[in-house]
Amino acid sequence: MIEVNDLTKAYGDTVVLDGLNFGVDSGEIFAVVGPSGAGKSTLAQCINLLERPTSGSVVVNGEDLTRLSHKQLRVARRRIGTVFQSSSLLSRRTAAENIALPLEYLGVTKGEATRRVQELLDRVGLTERADAYPFQLSGGQRQRVGIARALALRPAVLLSDEATSGLDPHTTSSVVSLLRELRDDLNLAIVFITHEMNTVLEIADSVARLDRGRIVESGRLVDLLTDHSSALGRDLQPQRLDGAAKPGDAVWVATYDSPDVPADWIGRVADELGTPVALLGASVQVVGGVSVGSVTIGVAENVSGRVPAALARFGLQTSSHNAARELEVVA
C-alpha cells in the first residue's frame, strides 16, 4: 500500500503541491484527475521520488521513502513501478530487451532475467512480439511493454502517469482491462493519473480531483456518482444523448440514487402511474457492481406531478429536463 501525508512541493516561492493526503490500499486503483497545471505531473514525480518533496512523506508498505539516503532510495524505489504516457521505450532495443532493462541494472543473472522477461511478456499478451522493435509495435502494444517493464522488479505500487493518453478508445479499454487484471492478480496498489473522465469510470475504485495543487474533492467512485451534491460526481457521470418526446409528454431526468435500483424500474413505474413511460435517452454504467448514471423519460403531462414520488420509491432522483440541463451548464 501507499500513503501520501501532507505532501508539499515548492519551487522557490511557487507552491505546486500543497499538503496532499491520501492512501491507496493493496488491490485498489486510485485515480487522480484535474485540469492542466493542477500539479498532476509533479505529483507523479514526487510519488516515485524522481522529485523530492519539499515536505511531507511518501510511505510504501510502512516505510517512509522520503527519509532514506540516496543509496537506500535506489533500493526502495523498486517498490514503485511507473508507466509513462508514451511508454518511453528505447528504440534500439526489442520488446524483450526493454523489459529486461531494470533487471540488467539490478545485476540479475542472464538466465533469471530471461525467465522473468518471458513471464512478463506472457502476462501482457506479447509473447510472439518479444523480438519486435518499438517502431514495429502498435501504440497499445508499446504501452503493454511499458507496463511489463514497470513490473519487472515486482513492485508493490504501480504508478500510471497518463498511460492511456493519446490512445484510441479500443486500445484504451484494452490497457485498462490489463491494469485491472494485474491489480487483481498481483494485489497492486495503483495510482492512476489521468485527465480522461471516461477512463476513470472504467478503472477506478476511488478518485480525487487535484486543482491548483490541492485535493478539492475525493471519495469512493460509487459514492461520488450517487452523491448529487458532488461536483466531481457530476463530472464523472456518463454523458446522456436524449431523443425528442412526443407531444403532450413531460420530460424528466431520473438519476440513480441508490445501489438497489431494480433493472425493470421503467415498467414498474409505468404500472404505478397507469400510463406508458417512454425511454428518450440513457447513459448507465455498472461501476463496482452498482448501476450509475441517468435516464431521460417521457410521461403523459396529466400524471407528471406523480413522477418524482414514483421514481423515488425505486431509488431514483428526479429533476425536470430543463432543470437538469441548467445544472449541467453550471457544473
> Residue 247 has which C-alpha cell?
407531444
Tens-digit pLDDT profile for residues 276-306: 999 898 888 888 788 888 899 999 999 988 9
> Residue 327 has which C-alpha cell?
445544472
Position 200 pLDDT exceeds 50: yes
DSSP-assigned beta bridge partners for residue 191: 30, 159
Position 325 pLDDT exceeds 70: no
Predicted confidence at residue 321, as pLDDT, reads 55
Predicted confidence at residue 331, as pLDDT, reads 40
Confidence grade of residue 76 (pLDDT, cut at 50, 70, 90) = confident
Residue ranges covered by each domain of the chain? 2-227, 237-320
User: Whole-angstrom Cα distance, residue 151 to residue 147?
Assistant: 6
Q: Which segment of 124-128, 187-191, 288-292 scores lowest on mean pLDDT?
A: 288-292
Predicted confidence at residue 330, as pLDDT, reads 39
Cα separation values, 82 from 86, 143, 147, 189, 317, Å? 12, 11, 8, 12, 41
The per-residue pLDDT of the chain, averaged, comes to 89
Predicted confidence at residue 320, as pLDDT, reads 67
**Mean pLDDT of the 228-242 span:** 79
Assigned CATH topology for domain 2-227: Rossmann fold (3.40.50)
Confidence grade of residue 239 (pLDDT, cut at 50, 70, 90) = low
Q: What percent of the chain has pLDDT over 90?
A: 62
Predicted confidence at residue 227, as pLDDT, reads 85
User: Whole-angstrom Cα distance, residue 28 to residue 244?
Assistant: 41
Assigned CATH topology for domain 237-320: Alpha-Beta Plaits (3.30.70)
Q: Is 46 helix (H, G, I), strand (E, B) or coil?
A: helix
User: Whole-angstrom Cα distance, residue 265 to residue 295?
Assistant: 11
